[in-house]
Amino acid sequence: SQTIHQWPATLVQPVGSPLSLECTVEGTSNPNLYWYRQAAGRGLQLLFYSVGIGQISSEVPQNLSASRPQDRQFILSSKKLLLSDSGFYLCAWGRVSYEQYFGPGTRLTVT
């Protein structure tokens, strides 16, 4: 069966510090991978998605970036965090016309 991992589970970072969130998927190959952000009391905002190694599509202009160095690894990064980057970050995997499966999420608080 497939599983998806995210770490860390929680993170508190000061404004201006760098960020690296990692997501890995097990039990499948060549999945589509997604990063979403969920602000407090709001819906899901798609940040990035990837259909293959090195292929990243950005949905929202911001100070975040994503990379996919391996087939089942998806990384979300920032060089300098803003207060507005606080939120709940969710990684998901899926396939074309297939349901998406979500990781447990990372709670990021920027102070």
Partner 1 sequence: AQSVTQLGSHVSVSEGALVLLRCNYSSSVPPYLFWYVQYPNQGLQLLLKYTSAATLVKGINGFEAEFKKSETSFHLTKPSAHMSDAAEYFCAVTANTGNQFYFGTGTSLTVIP
Interface residues toward partner 1, by CB under 8 A: 32, 34, 42-44, 46, 49, 51, 88, 90, 92, 94, 96-97, 99-105, 107
Of 19 and 47, the one with the shorter C-beta distance to partner 1 is 47
- Compute the distance between CA of residue 80 and CA of residue 68 in angstroms, rounded to an integer: 20
Residues whose CB falls within 8 Å of the CB of residue 64, separated by 6 or more in sequence, listed in order: 19, 47, 48, 76, 77, 78, 85
Of 16 and 21, the one with the shorter C-beta distance to partner 1 is 21
Of 83 and 96, the one with the shorter C-beta distance to partner 1 is 96
